Amino acid sequence: DAGVIQSPRHEVTEMGQEVTLRCKPISGHNSLFWYRQTMMRGLELLIYFNNNVPIDDSGMPEDRFSAKMPNASFSTLKIQPSEPRDSAVYFCASSPPGTGANVLTFGAGSRLTVL
């Protein structure tokens, strides 16, 4: 299993540009999560999907952020327009069905720098 795959690994863009981050979860996992890591706030949950349906997006900072999961093997996190304060590492994670022993498997992250 290749694990959770994220792309791009690094993105440098200018303020005002659109940024799209991509994630491929582990096959068979039915929940997908987007987290953001910053020095100040650590790991924050932005949004999570269960069976491709967004369940909780209360962590999405503002309307500039949007996430989609068109199928079980792909998700995107889009920022439009991007701002310097969006600079962070964005992690995607997935977890399998069931309860009681669920753990998250994280991707390697996408480091975003907005100039």
Partner 1 sequence: DQQVKQNSPSLSVQEGRISILNCDYTNSMFDYFLWYKKYPAEGPTFLISISSIKDKNEDGRFTVFLNKSAKHLSLHIVPSQPGDSAVYFCAASRNYGQNFVFGPGTRLSVLP
Enumerate binding residues for partner 1 (CB under 8 A): 4, 31, 33, 35, 41-45, 48, 50, 55-56, 91, 93, 95, 99-109
Q: Which is nearer to partner 1, 16 or 97 (CB)?
A: 97
Q: How far is the CB of 94 from partner 1 (least distance, A)?
A: 10
d(CA 14, CA 53) in angstroms, rounded, equals 31
Nearest to 11, CA basis, from 92, 94, 109: 109
Q: How far is the CB of 42 from partner 1 (least distance, A)?
A: 3
Contact 76, 67 (CB under 8 A): yes
Q: How far is the CB of 59 from partner 1 (least distance, A)?
A: 10
Q: Which is nearer to partner 1, 65 or 90 (CB)?
A: 90
Q: Which residues contact 97 (CB under 8 A, 6 or more apart)?
A: 29, 30, 31
